[in-house]
Each structure stands twice: as structure tokens, then as C-alpha cells.
């Protein structure tokens, strides 16, 4: 192991490992499952291992938390939650394209209706912030200035909205899975 690698390993063990319980507690407060937390922390350690230097990091705990939050946001983007801007850009093509099956079009419309219904369940400020961010594309700073709130509130409301939407869509997927399983059992039995 090179001197540089030894330095990074020593630095991580002194500055990052002690921060892990705080990071895990923060992620639990966000409603992230323990298995997902394990994955996020492991991903962060892999990112630290890939660094060529650590001398530029002034606040190791904050850096660790930021790496984990970024990984979590990346996971949310890749999750089954439909990004509204993606759907609104695709929807006109899906409806007008003859190559798209009727079934796919119906499913897409149902998903859009579900997202719209879930958006209506959000508290007013949360829905406004989410809409400004995800549909109108404003930055957190622009939203905070427009609404007269802190950027921290904007970030929290966006995360809250994502959790509610994700939970609602997962619940709908589970209900669909249960219906399909019941249909399969009726066909077999």
C-alpha cells in the first residue's frame, strides 16, 4: 500500500468512522431504511477510497454527510418515482405515437393521474416548492427568495414531497402486484 493510500485510510479512520453514527441517525430521521443506509454508507466509503487526496477536506463530517445525501438523491432519481418533467416531455409523444400500445398509454395516464393526486395531498407550501423546483425548474435559492423562506426549508420540503410521492407510488405498485397475484391464483385455481 502506498504512503498516500495509508494516509487516506488513517484519515478516514480518524475523521470519518467516528461520524458514521451521526450520519446514520440523520438518514433514519429522513425515513431511509436501515438496509438503504448501509448501502449509502458503503458507497460513501468506496468514494473515500477512490480519492487521491483528502487534504482539501476541511469538514470531514459535513463532507461525509454530503456524499451520503448525494448518493441518496441519485438513488431517488433512479427509483421508480416518475420524474414529472420527464413525463410531461414524453406524454404528448406517447399519446400521439401509433407505435405506443394503448395499454402503455393508459398506464402512463394512470401514473400521471396518480402523481397529480399525490401532489394534491401535499401541504400547500410543500406542493408549491416542489412544483417550482421540479416543474418550473427554479433553483433552491430562487425558490427561497420568491417565497421568503430559507434554502433549508426549501430542501426539506422537496425531500418531504419526494418521500410522500415515492411512498404513494410504491403503495400503488404493491396494490397492483396484489391484484395481479389474485388474478393469477384465480386462473390457476
Interior angle at CA 144, CA 141 and CA 142, nearest 5: 40
Long-range contacts of 1-9 (CB under 8 A, 24+ apart): 4/52, 4/53, 7/54, 8/48, 8/49, 8/51, 8/53, 8/54
CA separation for the pair 166, 155 (Å, rounded): 16
pLDDT per residue as tens digits for the range 118-131: 888 889 999 899 88
Three-state SS string over 54-115 comes to CCCCCCHHHHHHHHHHHHHHHHHHHCCCCCHHHHHHHHHHHHHCCCCCHHHHHHHHHHHHHH
Read off the pTM.
0.42
Q: Which of 58-62, 69-73, 98-102, 130-134 has the lowest mean pLDDT?
A: 98-102
Say which residue, 67 or 189, is predicted with more confidence: 67
pLDDT at 89: 46
pLDDT per residue as tens digits for the range 135-186: 778 888 999 999 999 999 999 998 988 888 888 877 755 555 455 555 555 6
* CA 110 centroid distance within chain: 22
pLDDT > 90 fraction of the chain, expressed in percent and rounded: 11
Question: What size, in residues, is the chain?
Answer: 189
pLDDT at 149: 94
pLDDT band at 74 (very low <50, low <70, confident <90, very high): confident
pLDDT per residue as tens digits for the range 22-61: 888 888 887 788 888 888 889 888 888 888 888 888 888 8
Helix (H) / strand (E) containing 17: none
User: What SS3 class is residue 157?
Assistant: helix
Sign of torsion over alpha carbons 135, 122, 74, 91: negative
Amino acid at each position: 500500500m502506498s504512503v498516500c493510500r495509508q494516509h487516506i485510510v488513517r484519515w478516514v479512520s480518524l475523521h470519518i468512522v467516528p461520524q458514521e453514527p451521526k450520519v446514520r441517525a440523520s438518514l433514519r430521521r429522513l425515513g431511509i431504511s436501515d438496509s438503504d443506509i448501509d448501502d449509502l454508507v458503503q458507497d460513501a466509503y468506496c468514494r473515500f477510497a477512490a480519492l487521491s487526496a483528502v487534504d482539501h477536506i476541511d469538514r470531514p463530517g459535513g463532507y461525509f454527510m454530503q456524499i451520503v445525501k448525494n448518493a441518496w438523491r441519485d438513488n431517488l432519481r433512479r427509483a421508480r418515482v416518475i420524474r414529472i418533467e420527464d413525463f410531461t416531455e414524453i406524454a404528448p409523444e406517447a399519446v400521439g405515437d401509433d407505435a405506443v400500445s394503448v395499454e402503455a398509454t393508459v398506464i402512463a395516464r394512470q401514473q400521471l393521474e396518480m402523481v397529480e393526486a399525490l401532489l394534491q395531498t401535499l401541504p400547500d407550501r410543500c406542493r408549491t416548492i416542489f412544483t417550482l423546483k421540479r416543474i418550473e425548474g427554479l433553483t433552491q435559492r430562487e425558490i427561497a427568495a420568491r417565497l421568503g423562506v430559507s434554502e433549508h426549508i426549501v430542501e426539506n420540503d422537496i425531500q418531504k414531497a419526494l418521500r410522500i410521492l415515492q411512498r404513494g407510488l410504491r403503495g400503488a405498485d404493491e396494490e397492483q402486484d396484489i391484484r395481479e397475484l389474485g388474478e393469477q391464483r384465480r386462473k390457476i385455481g
